[in-house]
Amino acid sequence: MGGWGMGRGGRPTENTCRMKDTPLSNCERDFLLKAIEEKKRLDGRQTYDYRKMKITFGTDYGCCFVDLGKTRVMAQVSCELVAPKESRPNEGIMFFNIELSPMASPAFEQGRQSELSVKLNRQLERCLRNSKCIDTESLCVVSGETVWQIRVDIHMLNHDGNLMDAASIAAITALCHFRRPDVGIQGDEVTVYSPEERDPIPLSIYHMPISVSFSFFQQGTYLLVDPCEREERVMDGLLMIAMNKHREICSIQSSGGIMLLKEQVMRCSKIASVKVSEITELISKALENDKKARKAGERCGFAESMPQERITALKMDETPVEMTDVTDRANDIVQNTEAPPQTVPSPVVPVPGVGQIGQGLQNAWGLEEDDEEEEDVSSHEEEEEQVTKMEEEQHEKESREGYFIYFNWVHF
Amino acid sequence: MQRQYTVYLQSFISRPCVRMFSSLKLRVGEVLLPGDEFSFDTADRLSLTEAVKAEKVVCGPGLRRSGDRLLVCKSGVLRHKEPNTFWMDSQQRRYVPAKGESIIGIVTVKSGDVFKVDFGGSEQASLSYLAFEGATKRNRPNVQVGDLVFAQFVLANKDMEPELVCVDSSGRANGMGVFGGGGLLFSVSLGLVRRLLAPHSEILTDLQQLFPCELVVGMNGRLWVKSSTVQQTLVISNLLQSCDTMTAQQRQQLFRRVAQGAL
């Protein structure tokens, strides 16, 4: 994997070649923008559609996996008893941390606080902490001395776009799923009961703020919800709205520096409220199912939630493909294009041992008057100038096999 | 399939190789894991009456000779091609450059005389500006950063930076060079690419019956598709990405449904 040079202290030296993400080619960018203008997305979704979302839980309380299409995020909630902050002696402490693991994308580096990581952390804090979705006063054990510190760690496992939404869903679901140990206070003594002694208590959560991301293209003309990774690379700007199902906006953040009109923001917030209620439904259902499974004593947990991805298994998730208007007729195309060159109906055998189909390329050797046209790849329309030598043709046909294929026109 | 494997082919010649050959032949089509080995027992007695021919066994990718044993070093299915070639057909998406293979690369850096091209490997390959048809010091090729190039490797060692060229040995472009306006680039597994490039490829014949399109296949797992409308291009790219893990029957069923426009 390229030269990893290690300087003293174990940090990679400056001139090692780091794994960079695949660059976006101009052709992909143009195609994506063109497709967006025609309201088509790469995987066939509509403009306001989310990808398939799946929420699973681990064995511990507070461990949650969220799959948003191919983006995969894991959240883990843990707690410990600490001394409270001086300014707020009655309130517990919430701590959020988002880790961009190099497992998620070759662009993420271990240990480096990249811009994206700072941005995601800030947004998550604003979304969850400032909205006061968790009752921090209930986390107080002994006022001024001991409070619970709840820590939410979010790990990105795979980056296929829209990390923020997946992270916010994972965080709030993990918080809803989490159970903290019960404590008993006797005078000055604080006893923490283990889960076997007393059932752990869930956190008291007022509401579930969920963030919805909107990506803008062509200076705000086109809008897409839940951008995938390639769409994120060509977008001009991003608007993130965090809302709960009671239609209260918890945070709005616009990045990328595009100018948005008031109507656009209003429209986005309406869309966001619809999406948030759907997602909250899904979260509640997932939590229900998990509760039932645990009660029934079923096996639940990390090992069970892993899908069987064996190399010998031929199972793959259905790829959603939009197929409307596919039969833009071949007939139309045939009629509207110019007549193809005279085609040879079957292989001709000019010399025993040599077969010829079609005319092959123009011979550019030693002929100064013919200009060397750039070979147009859609060459089933191309007019051949002259018959080339047999051996050349054979060679060309064979070598062409490797990289593009003629599609012979079939006359309907 | 042999065309695509321009990777190292070790010849393994030994006198009592008949046993090796037959033991390999026995397990063709089975799934093997790294660590499985084929050895011939010297304890087996050679028949003095039968004529013992020296048989050559050619090992392709995934099989490695170690002393007098043949070791499997990649997990996959053992394949055989007449008369005596064996190799492991494995599923992977990570491309390792090999000399002579044609790939689709993306130009990342244009510095002085050399372009740096990303092809999905561990390093970026270098492509000299003179390695295009009709390029001279004064007549530079029109290549921008972010363009797609179809090129082949002339140097692909694990110890050195790989080198690409866009001309063949006689100096002609032969289809290589910059391309790509208006199409879509996506990546698939290497196994699918090999199946597409095999002679009489079934997937290609099925695809031909759908709609006309242009397709450029790079052996680094990248495909470029262009069709008459954006919708058709998206359909073809999604089809190719999803038929990677399908059996022939499932794939034909899927293609049939698309042809009817019913999906």
Encode pLDDT of A253-292 as tens digits. 998 878 888 998 999 999 999 999 999 999 999 999 888 8
Touching A: B residues 223-252, CB under 8 Å: 224, 228-235, 237-239, 241-242, 244-247, 250
Residues of chain B with Cβ-Cβ distance to A31 below 8 Å are: 182-184, 230, 233
> Which residue in this structure is represented by tokens 């990289």?
A403
Q: Is the pLDDT of residue B103 over 50?
A: yes
Do residues A279 and A245 lie in contact, with contact meaning Cβ atoms separated by under 8 Å? no
Residue among A2, A327, A403 whose CB faces B175 most closely: A403
Residue among A43, A333, A403 whose CB faces B150 most closely: A403
Asked if B197's CB is within 8 angstroms of A27's CB, the reply is: no
Average pLDDT of B31-51?
72
Q: Nearest-CA residue of chain B relative to A406? A: B214
Q: What is the pLDDT of residues B168-220, one digit of tens each?
A: 888 888 888 898 788 999 999 998 998 899 888 888 888 888 888 899 999 99
Touching A: B residues 54-113, CB under 8 Å: 75-76, 91, 102, 106, 108
The confidence band for A205, taking pLDDT boundaries of 50, 70 and 90, is very high
The confidence band for A364, taking pLDDT boundaries of 50, 70 and 90, is low
Asked if A40's CB is within 8 angstroms of B230's CB, the reply is: yes
Asked if A401's CB is within 8 angstroms of B197's CB, the reply is: yes
Interface test with A, best of B33, B157, B174 (most A CBs within 10 A): B174
Q: B197 touching A, CB under 8 A?
A: yes
- Of A220-224, A249-253, B14-18, give the lowest mean pLDDT range: B14-18
Q: What is the pLDDT of residue A32?
A: 92
Q: What is the pLDDT of residues B52-66, one digit of tens each?
A: 666 778 888 888 888
Q: Is the pLDDT of residue A405 over 50?
A: no
Q: Is the pLDDT of residue A15 over 60?
A: no
Q: Is the pLDDT of residue A163 over 90?
A: yes
Q: What is the pLDDT of residue B184?
A: 92
Residues of chain B with Cβ-Cβ distance to A375 below 8 Å are: 173, 175
Collapsing DSSP to helix, strand or coil, A18 comes out as: coil
Q: What is the pLDDT of residues A65-117, one digit of tens each?
A: 999 999 999 999 999 999 999 999 999 999 999 989 888 888 888 877 788 89
Residues of chain B with Cβ-Cβ distance to A20 below 8 Å are: 118
Average pLDDT of A373-398?
39
Do residues A276 and A243 lie in contact, with contact meaning Cβ atoms separated by under 8 Å? yes
Q: What does pLDDT average to over chain B?
A: 83
Q: What is the pLDDT of residue B200?
A: 85
Collapsing DSSP to helix, strand or coil, A27 comes out as: helix
Do residues A198 and A17 lie in contact, with contact meaning Cβ atoms separated by under 8 Å? no
Q: Is the pLDDT of residue A344 over 80?
A: no
Do residues A3 and B160 lie in contact, with contact meaning Cβ atoms separated by under 8 Å? no
ipTM higher than the 0.90 cut? no
Residues of chain B with Cβ-Cβ distance to A17 below 8 Å are: 122-124
Q: Nearest-CA residue of chain A relative to B105? A: A25
Residue among B123, B215, B258 whose CB faces A2 most closely: B123
Q: What is the pLDDT of residue B170?
A: 85
- Of A47-51, A251-255, A315-319, B101-105, give the lowest mean pLDDT range: A315-319
Kindly give, in sequence order, each residue whose CB lies less than 8 Å from that of residue B102, ignoring residues fewer than 6 positions away: A402, A403, B150, B151, B152, B176, B218, B219
Asked if B239's CB is within 8 angstroms of A375's CB, the reply is: no
Q: What is the pLDDT of residue A19?
A: 60
Q: Is the pLDDT of residue A305 over 80?
A: no
Q: How far is B143 from chain A (nearest CA, A)?
A: 11
Cis peptide bond N-terminal to A307, omega within 30: no
Asked if A377's CB is within 8 angstroms of B247's CB, the reply is: no
Do residues B246 and B254 lie in contact, with contact meaning Cβ atoms separated by under 8 Å? yes
Residues of chain B with Cβ-Cβ distance to A25 below 8 Å are: 106, 146-148, 180, 185
Cα angle, residue A192 at apex, residues A189 and A195 outer, rounded to 5°? 160
Q: Closest by alpha carbon to A217, among A256, A251, A253, A271?
A: A256
Query: Which secondary structure element, helix H or strand E, spans residue B70, and what is its range?
Result: strand B69-72
Asked if B146's CB is within 8 angstroms of A31's CB, the reply is: no
Do residues B196 and B204 lie in contact, with contact meaning Cβ atoms separated by under 8 Å? yes
Residue type, A330: A
- Of A198-212, A213-227, A382-396, give the lowest mean pLDDT range: A382-396
Q: B5 touching A, CB under 8 A?
A: no
Asked if A328's CB is within 8 angstroms of B233's CB, the reply is: no
Q: How far is B257 from chain A (nearest CA, A)?
A: 10
Average pLDDT of B232-237?
90
Do residues A21 and A232 lie in contact, with contact meaning Cβ atoms separated by under 8 Å? no
Average pLDDT of B236-260?
87
Average pLDDT of B252-261?
85
In angstroms, the CA A235 to CA B12 distance is 55
Interface test with A, best of B1, B166, B184, B213 (most A CBs within 10 A): B184
Residue among A20, A44, A326 whose CB faces B258 most closely: A326
- Of A65-74, A167-176, A313-322, B126-135, give the lowest mean pLDDT range: A313-322
Q: How far is A361 from chain B (nearest CA, A)?
A: 10
Residue among A23, A315, A321 whose CB faces B235 most closely: A321
Q: What is the pLDDT of residue B25?
A: 82
Cα angle, residue A182 at apex, residues A177 and A185 outer, rounded to 5°? 150
Q: What is the pLDDT of residue B258?
A: 85
Q: What is the pLDDT of residue A372?
A: 37
Collapsing DSSP to helix, strand or coil, B201 comes out as: coil
Do residues A147 and A171 lie in contact, with contact meaning Cβ atoms separated by under 8 Å? no
* Strands of the B69-72 sheet, one edge to the other: B37-39, B69-72, B63-66
Q: What does pLDDT average to over chain A?
A: 77
Q: Nearest-CA residue of chain B relative to A311? A: B91
User: Percent of chain B, pLDDT > 70?
Assistant: 86
Q: B120 touching A, CB under 8 A?
A: yes
The confidence band for A382, taking pLDDT boundaries of 50, 70 and 90, is very low
The confidence band for A410, taking pLDDT boundaries of 50, 70 and 90, is very low
Tokens of A139: 């986390």
Q: What is the pLDDT of residues A165-196, one digit of tens each?
A: 999 999 999 999 999 999 988 887 888 888 88
- Of A20-29, A197-206, A359-368, give the lowest mean pLDDT range: A359-368
Query: Which one is predicted more confidently, A239 or A6?
Result: A239
Give the orientation angle of helix A163-177 with respect to helix A115-128, to 10 degrees.
40
Q: How far is A29 from chain B (nearest CA, A)?
A: 9
Do residues A377 and A391 lie in contact, with contact meaning Cβ atoms separated by under 8 Å? no
